[in-house]
A and B are shown apart, each in its own frame.
Chain A
Amino acid sequence: MELSGGQILVQSLKDEGVEYIFGYPGGAVLHLYDALFQQDDVKHILVRHEQGATHAADGYARATGRPGVVLVTSGPGATNAITGIATAYMDSIPMVVISGQVSLPVIGSDAFQEVDMVGISRPCVKHNFLVKDVTKLAETIKKAFYVATSGRPGPVVVDVPKDITDPKIKVPYKYPKKVTMRSYNPAVSGHKGQIKKAVELLLAAQKPVIYSGGGVVLGEASAELTEFSHLLGYPVTNTLMGLGAYPATDKQFIGMLGMHGTYEANMAMHESDVIIAIGARFDDRVTGKLDLFCPYAKIIHIDIDPASISKTVKVDIPIVGEVKPVLEQMIGLIKDSKAKPNKKALDAWWHQIDQWRAVQCLEYDRGSLLIKPQYVIEQLYEVTKGDAYVTSDVGQHQMWAAQYYPFDKPRRWINSGGLGTMGFGLPAAIGVKLAFPDAEVACVTGEASIQMCIQELSTALQFKTPIKIINLNNRYMGMVRQWQEFTYESRYSHSYMDTIPEFVQLAEAYGHVGLRIDKPEEVRPALEKAFAMRDRTVFLDIITDRTENVYPMIEAGKGHHDMKLRAAPGTSTDRELA
């Protein structure tokens, strides 16, 4: 079969089983768009801004586990995609981004819409390619998918000069079934001796904690983590990226850890004598001040990426390998072991944890006359029966969604954890809804974040992705305001906007339904009404208490045992900030 470069690209995507590509056309990819036009298998989702394309593909990838695919033109198309590529990179999301490039002979001449995409994307991709020979195009696409999805996943950019896709130049096409790369061998199985040592240490623990992260979600090891944890009876805490990997409603779950984690999770980490980190990377938002991190614990760390091990926290038993098979082996060893978890020590440990739980660190003022954002998330959980896909933007609302929506399944909680990208939530929700049209998809956002990619409301209409946007509108960049309150004596420097759009009208202008809610008693009925409109995107503009802060909190430079808790109930005031 002889095909042009444009046709090869499209056919390669088909052969790779790609369902959707998220993109935006432009000069350098016109041949490619022409090839797309002449087929129906790969569906193109036309976004309104390339950042939206990357986030939508990212949401699709996080929800399904399959790689998200993006198609952008050269120059500004490529640079607009960078934020989304970096977002995927920080959270290890498999993504293939095809960017157009100016023709080979003019590369380097500062041609119209030329930018060095390979250079610009280099620090935020797992790998990238510049295609210089059309006969290598299919193989390069195969390599891109292989690299993006294997090992520790990540985004891969394929930069394709326009002349490579020239319809007049046809070459034989064959999509490779498999590629091998001598410089890339991602499959690693954990060291047996280390695994055995880890199990021995675990079974001898007095105050153990299982600390699991996004690697468990990415590695499809949720069932194994649950079995492993149940077998041991040890407390489990998840990172922000790991939420859902272990059922949050399970009695062994002690909540998220880290800066806005629960009191019980952070105290347990601090007091623990053995910690097993599973697919988690000791991020600074998790560890707090490194010198104070888990002072009494021996640490076991399972990770597919050797560079994640002992990067910030020195580990006692490192295990480099895929989480799933390592956990399977550990489960086998625990079952066969004569040693059993120390029941007496464990009872005392749980007794201690229950005392920390009794602090009820997530309680808030339920009698408020203003809408409390936490209440909205709790109601969202009730109305969706805890089974929605929840995407979020970045800030206070993100933390509240993480704290008050207990996820029982992996891949339901979709947020930009590593890069912290405002504008992520709405396009990500579109990607999720395309992947799972029958599922409930909610985007929890705030009035600042939503404005960063609000143009994608138009995409949601065109491609009929009825999502529910929960806009926690506190008229502040809430997290910035919170930090300014705590550490800058309430000097709210530029953390509010004097003009905020009328979101109900805005949603309607985009062809959707807009609802404004400003009383607590309206929250539940409005959510029910919104979710009852199965085929409509509904924008719920919820006017919340603008003074509300995210608690508990580990402030900068502090350790897990030194959390700032909410003031006792009744002492908070509902006054509007001056």
Chain B
Amino acid sequence: MRHIISILIENESGALSRVAGLFSARGYNIESLAVAVTEDPSLSRITLVTRGSEDVIEQITKQLNKLIDVVKLIDLVESDHIERELMMVKIKTNEQTRAEIRSLADIFRGKILDVTPTSYVLEITGPSEKLDAFVAAIAPETIIEVVRSGPTGISRGEKGLHL
């Protein structure tokens, strides 16, 4: 099953490699990884998507908790949560295709960030499946590149992951 593990970790050099190293050393797989500093500059937040049986996920969370730099973590999938991923897509365009791409972008509530005579850069935000759907909806030969942030997530309601 797919799990989204959200980790509050000391913002120190090497902290991320401890997390990544743990996954490779113990043979767990990382589907995606998003990291940035939090409102407290001494802490970073990692959102990590992984897959595994209940036993494997239990070991992953226990082993992550053992890392000295890890302050706290939660598995977002265990409760109600919101998940968002950001994608930027660069698409080849011409006079015939522009209108169609624009309307497609509207359907997905995307934004056009950059325009040249031969290309668009679109921004789409949403759950990962929505981004997958957008990519599937455009002709593959028109895609120049796709950049995805990997999902980040937050739990619903008052509760949160903080110090």
Contacts and interface: CB of A to CB of B under 8 A. Distances in A.
B70 A122 contact: no
Interface stretch (B29-37, B54-62, B123-131, B142-150): B54-62
A310 B55 contact: yes
A307 B17 contact: no
Contacts of B58: 310
Contacts of B10: 183
Contacts of B55: 310
A126 B68 CA distance: 8
Contacts of B71: 182-183
Contacts of A184: 68
B1 interface: no
Interface string A454-474: 000000000000000000000
Contact of A127 (B13, B25, B63, B68): B68
A118 B18 CA distance: 10
A193 interface: no
Given A183-B10, A307-B63, A310-B55, A119 B68 contact: no
B66 A305 contact: yes
Q: How large is the interface on B (under 10, 10 to 19, 20 to 34, 35 or more residues)?
A: 20 to 34
**Majority DSSP secondary structure for residues of B touching A:** helix
Interface residues of A, number: 17
A130 interface: yes
B69 interface: yes
B52 interface: no
A182 B25 contact: no
A315 to B, nearest CB: 12
B14 interface: yes
Contacts of A17: none
A311 B59 contact: yes
A305 B18 CA distance: 18
A310 B55 CA distance: 8
Contacts of A557: none
A119 B24 CA distance: 14
B21 A122 contact: yes
A497 interface: no
B94 interface: no
A118 B10 CA distance: 16
Given A183-B70, A307-B63, 20 more contacts: A118-B14, A119-B14, A122-B14, A122-B18, A122-B21, A123-B21, A123-B25, A127-B68, A130-B13, A130-B14, A181-B68, A182-B71, A182-B163, A183-B68, A183-B69, A183-B71, A306-B65, A307-B65, A310-B55, A311-B59
5 contacts: A119-B14, A183-B68, A307-B62, A307-B63, A310-B55
